[in-house]
Amino acid sequence: MTAQVGATTSSDALRKSQLRKTLRKRRASLSAAQRSRAAQRAADHLIAQLSHRKARSVAAYLAYGSELSTAPLLAQLHACGVRVLLPRLRGRQMRFVAWTAHERLRRNRHGIAEPVGRRIVSPAHIDVMVMPLTGFDAQGQRLGTGGGYYDRALQHLHTRRRPWRVGYAYALQECEGLPHEAWDIRLHAICTERGLRHFRSSHRVT
C-alpha cells in the first residue's frame, strides 16, 4: 500500500503536511503485536547488512510516538560491539553523541529522549546513519517531521557515501513521488520489516 501525493493542493508545504497526517494515522493503526514483530524483523535485516559492510560506528535514534521501534536494533548493535551514537538537539542544530545502554537520557523540548554525554562525533566520521522518517518514496526521498535537523546536519556531506544513510520505517510508510526541496537529503537505502532496499542514486535532486 502506498500513499498518493495529492495533485489538488496549492503548495508542496501543504502536500507534505497532509501526507504527514495520513502516514502518522496509518502508522498508529498498527497493533502492539504488529509493531513488535516489525521492529524485530527490521533490526534483523539491518544488522545483517551492517555486518556485511563492517560498520564500526552507527548513528541511530530513540523511537518516539508511533515510529518503528529501534529498541531491538540498539540492543543488537551493542551486542555486536558497534559504537552507537544518538542525536541531541541544540537550538536548530543536531549533534551525534556516543551512547551505551547504561548511560542516562533526558527529554528534549520535543519530549524525545536524548543522551547527556559529551562524546560528540562528526557525521563525517560515522559509518552508518539510521534515520527516522514519516514517509519515503522509490527514489530515496525522505519525508521527515518538518524540523530539518538531518538536512542541516548532513548538508555538507550529501554527495558522499559516508555516512551511509538508511531510512528506518514500516513498509506502509512508502509514498509515490514525494515533493522535495533542493536541500533535502536523499537516502542510500530504506530498511523496513520487509527487508532492505538500495536506491540507485544518493545525490540531491534539484
Average model confidence (pLDDT) across the chain: 89
Please list the residues that pair with 107 across neighbouring strands: 113
Phi, psi values for residue 7, rounded to 5°: -95, -5
* 165 grid coordinates: 544513510
| Lowest mean pLDDT across 4-13, 72-81, 86-95, 138-147 | 4-13
**Segment 73-131, tens digit of pLDDT:** 999 999 999 999 999 999 989 999 999 988 999 999 989 999 999 899 999 999 999 99
pTM above 0.75, yes or no: yes
What is the three-class DSSP state of 161? Answer: coil
C-alpha to C-alpha distances, 96 to 30, 41, 78, 107, nearest whole angstrom: 30, 26, 17, 15
pLDDT at residue 164 tops 70: yes
How big is the CA angle at 47 (ends 120 and 152), to the nearest 5 degrees? Answer: 35
Q: What is the pLDDT of residue 202?
A: 46
How high is the pLDDT of residue 8? 42
Euclidean distance between CA atoms 57 and 128, whole angstroms: 7
163 upstream amide cis, omega within 30 of 0: yes
Q: What is the mean pLDDT of residues 140-156?
A: 89
Q: Is 41 left (phi over 0), alpha (psi -120 to 50) or beta?
A: alpha
The CATH number given to 32-198 is 3.40.50.10420
Q: What is the pLDDT of residue 10?
A: 59
Mean pLDDT for 169-181 is 91
DSSP sequence for 109-123: TTS-EEE--S-EE-G
